[in-house]
Amino acid sequence: MEGNKSILLVGAGNMATAIACALEKSGNAPVAVWSRTAESARELAARVGCTWSDNFDDLPYADIVIISVVDSALHDVASAVVRKYPNAIVLHTAGSIPMEALHTAGAVKYGVLYPMQTVNKNNVVPLDNVTIFIEGCNDSVTALVKELAGSISSKVVYATSAQRSSLHVAAVFACNFPNAVYCMAAEVLERNNLPFDSMLPLIDEAARKVHTMQPLQAQTGPAKRGDKNVINKHKSMLDDELADIYETLSNYIMKRNCK
Spell out the domain ranges in the chain: 7-159, 165-257
Question: What is the structure's pLDDT at 81?
Answer: 96
CA–CA distance, 140 with 232 (Å, rounded to integer): 59
Residue 48 has pLDDT above 60, yes or no: yes
Residue 152 has pLDDT above 60, yes or no: yes
Taking residue 214's Cβ as centre, other Cβ atoms within 10 Å add up to 9
Give alpha helix (H) positions in the chain.
Answer: 14-26, 38-48, 74-84, 100-104, 139-150, 161-171, 177-191, 200-209, 215-218, 222-225, 228-236, 240-257
Residue 245 has pLDDT above 70, yes or no: yes
Residue 3 has pLDDT above 70, yes or no: no
> What's the angle, vertex CA 3, arms to CA 158 and CA 12, rounded to 5?
65
Residue 190 CB burial class (10 angstroms; 0-12, 13-18, ≥19): exposed
CATH number attached to the domain at 7-159: 3.40.50.720
Q: Are strands 32-34 and 51-53 parallel, antiparallel or unpaired?
A: parallel
Question: What is the structure's pLDDT at 181?
Answer: 98
Superfamily classification of domain 165-257: ProC-like, C-terminal domain (1.10.1040.20)
Question: What is the structure's pLDDT at 257?
Answer: 79
Mean pLDDT, to the nearest integer, of 21-48?
96
Question: What is the structure's pLDDT at 17?
Answer: 97
136-155 burial: b if 16+ Cβ within 10 Å, else e: bbeeebbebbbebbebbbee
Question: What is the structure's pLDDT at 109?
Answer: 98
